[in-house]
């Protein structure tokens, strides 16, 4: 492994805590500086991490920094990423890649013209949970896949997040916030999507913040809060997706894949690991499958480390901008389908990322 990729982080909100926790175990990355519109918070985090606190402009202009980890709110994703590319830096960002596919097209074209990489969360699909499920599926243990279901439901992020207003603005909501985990998992398992149909609704329930210094403050809602979609994969498999901020309790499984010879129970794609179980026609009981693929004990930032290794070795990175774009187009198509009452055909496609083999380690990236 050569010199580490030097990283500057823009945006040190709540999600950054998970990246900071993972950084010490990720070879190939060196954190240099952080920046945030809240400069006092940036200074506090920089002191905790033993790095520099810079303004956003100074971080983008800093010649030491090779790549920007973009952890800003969704509405700022494209602006920060475009500025980073213009400064000659690779970009890895939180999901979604952009608010609209049209914005993301220009972003990816700029990166291609500059010879730079764009990566995007979620990288949870690189852990042992989704990768083991993919390994079981690809091994044919449930026969030929014919369908899948994916569900994520909750009463809303205001129950736990101290500053959740952005979740109820464009780029947030259950589809754009949680949908990327589930749709990325479905594409990783079953391949690209060609057509979608969607139905959406918006609850009239008043939302107010439950915790932190803003507790009791009412949140304006500008997004659909309950979304159901049918995704037609290029393989012919049909996946049903439901994501919601309107459900107080549920016993629905996260993801199941149905095949001609059995079923796979897939763990929560918001996590890197979790039990995978199968039920087959020849062994009609649920049995847990030992982890057989994926990065063990992974955490947020593994997609960035994978990108760093891919830059060094000249191979494609797994949590790619192209995959994130396809997921973004799927989500945008679901909303358009619902509002226009029609089936929407996608324009993009993407290859399934290379699987993460059993026993993969950071040194093998």
Q: Domain end: 289, 313, 344, which one?
A: 289
Q: Domain end: 66, 96, 120, which one?
A: 120
CATH of the domain at 22: 3.40.50.720
Q: Give the C-alpha separation, 20 to 34, whole Å.
A: 11
- Asked if residues 199 and 344 have their Cβ atoms less than 8 Å apart, the reply is no
Whether residues 145 and 278 share a domain: the answer is yes
pLDDT in tens, 218-243: 999 999 999 999 999 999 999 999 99
Task: Determine, yes or no, domain membership for 333.
Answer: no
Whether residues 255 and 284 share a domain: the answer is yes
Model pLDDT, residue 25: 86
Q: Give the C-alpha separation, 145 to 138, whole Å.
A: 10
CATH of the domain at 230: 3.30.360.10
Structure tokens at 229: 């979609």
Task: Determine, yes or no, domain membership for 364.
Answer: no
pLDDT in tens, 194-217: 999 999 999 999 999 999 999 999
Whether residues 281 and 134 share a domain: the answer is yes
Q: Give the C-alpha separation, 90 to 289, whole Å.
A: 37
pLDDT in tens, 38-66: 999 999 999 999 999 999 999 999 999 99
Task: List the beta bridge partners of residue 53.
Answer: 34
How far out from the chain centre does Cα 117 lie?
17
Instruction: Please give the full DSSP string across 18-81, using - where no structure is assigned.
Output: HHHHHGGG-TTEEEEEEE-SSHHHHHHHHHHHTSEE--HHHHHH-TT--EEEE-S-GGGHHHHH
Residue 238: CB atoms within 10 Å: 18
Q: How many domains does the structure of the chain reveal? A: 2
Q: pTM for this one?
A: 0.95
pLDDT in tens, 277-316: 999 999 999 999 999 999 999 999 999 999 999 999 999 9
- Cβ partners under 8 Å of residue 187, min gap 6: 193, 323, 326, 327, 350, 352
Task: Determine, yes or no, domain membership for 149.
Answer: yes
Whether residues 50 and 14 share a domain: the answer is yes
Whether residues 254 and 268 share a domain: the answer is yes
Q: Which domain holds residue 36?
A: 5-120
Model pLDDT, residue 3: 87
Whether residues 88 and 172 share a domain: the answer is no
Whether residues 102 and 137 share a domain: the answer is no
Task: Determine, yes or no, domain membership for 30.
Answer: yes
When pLDDT is cut at 50, 70 and 90, the band that residue 250 belongs to is: very high
Q: Domain end: 266, 289, 312, which one?
A: 289
Task: Determine, yes or no, domain membership for 338.
Answer: no
Whether residues 172 and 110 share a domain: the answer is no
Residue 362 has pLDDT above 60, yes or no: no
Whether residues 132 and 94 share a domain: the answer is no
Task: Determine, yes or no, domain membership for 219.
Answer: yes
Q: Give the C-alpha separation, 135 to 343, whole Å.
A: 32
Whether residues 134 and 98 share a domain: the answer is no
Task: Determine, yes or no, domain membership for 297.
Answer: no
Task: Determine, yes or no, domain membership for 301.
Answer: no
Task: List the beta bridge partners of residue 168.
Answer: none
Whether residues 252 and 168 share a domain: the answer is yes
Whether residues 114 and 263 share a domain: the answer is no
């Amino acid at each position: 492994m050569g010199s580490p990729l030097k990283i500057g982080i823009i945006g040190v909100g709540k999600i950054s805590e998970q990246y900071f926790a993972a950084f010490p175990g990720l070879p190939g990355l060196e954190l240099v500086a952080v920046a945030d519109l809240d400069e006092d918070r940036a200074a506090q985090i920089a002191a905790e991490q033993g790095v520099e606190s810079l303004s956003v402009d100074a971080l983008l202009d800093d010649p030491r920094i090779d790549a920007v980890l973009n952890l800003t709110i969704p509405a700022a994703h494209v602006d920060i990423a475009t500025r980073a590319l213009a400064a000659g830096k690779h970009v890895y960002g939180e999901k979604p890649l952009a608010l609209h596919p049209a914005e993301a097209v220009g972003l990816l074209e700029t990166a291609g013209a500059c010879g730079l990489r764009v990566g995007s969360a979620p990288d949870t699909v690189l852990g042992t949970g989704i990768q083991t499920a993919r390994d079981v599926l690809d091994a044919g243990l449930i026969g030929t896949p014919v369908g899948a279901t994916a569900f994520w439901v909750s009463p809303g992020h205001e129950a736990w997040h101290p500053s959740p207003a952005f979740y109820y603005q464009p780029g947030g909501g259950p589809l754009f916030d949680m949908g990327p985990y589930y749709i990325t998992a479905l594409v990783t398992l079953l391949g690209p999507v060609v057509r979608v149909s969607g139905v959406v609704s918006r609850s009239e329930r008043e939302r107010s913040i439950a915790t932190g210094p803003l507790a009791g403050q009412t949140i304006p809602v500008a997004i659909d809060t309950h979304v159901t979609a049918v995704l037609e994969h290029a393989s012919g498999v049909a996946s049903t997706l439901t994501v919601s901020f309107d459900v107080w309790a549920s016993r629905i499984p996260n993801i199941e894949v149905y095949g001609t010879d059995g079923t796979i129970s897939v763990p929560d794609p918001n996590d890197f690991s979790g039990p995978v179980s199968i039920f087959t026609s020849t062994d009609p009981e649920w049995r847990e499958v030992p982890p057989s693929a994926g990065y063990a004990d992974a955490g947020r930032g593994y997609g960035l480390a994978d990108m760093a290794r891919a830059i060094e070795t000249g191979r494609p990175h797994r949590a790619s901008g192209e995959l994130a774009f396809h997921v973004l187009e799927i989500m945008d198509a679901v909303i358009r389908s619902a509002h226009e009452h029609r089936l929407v055909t996608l324009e993009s496609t993407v290859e399934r990322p290379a699987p993460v083999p059993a026993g993969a380690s950071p040194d093998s990236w």
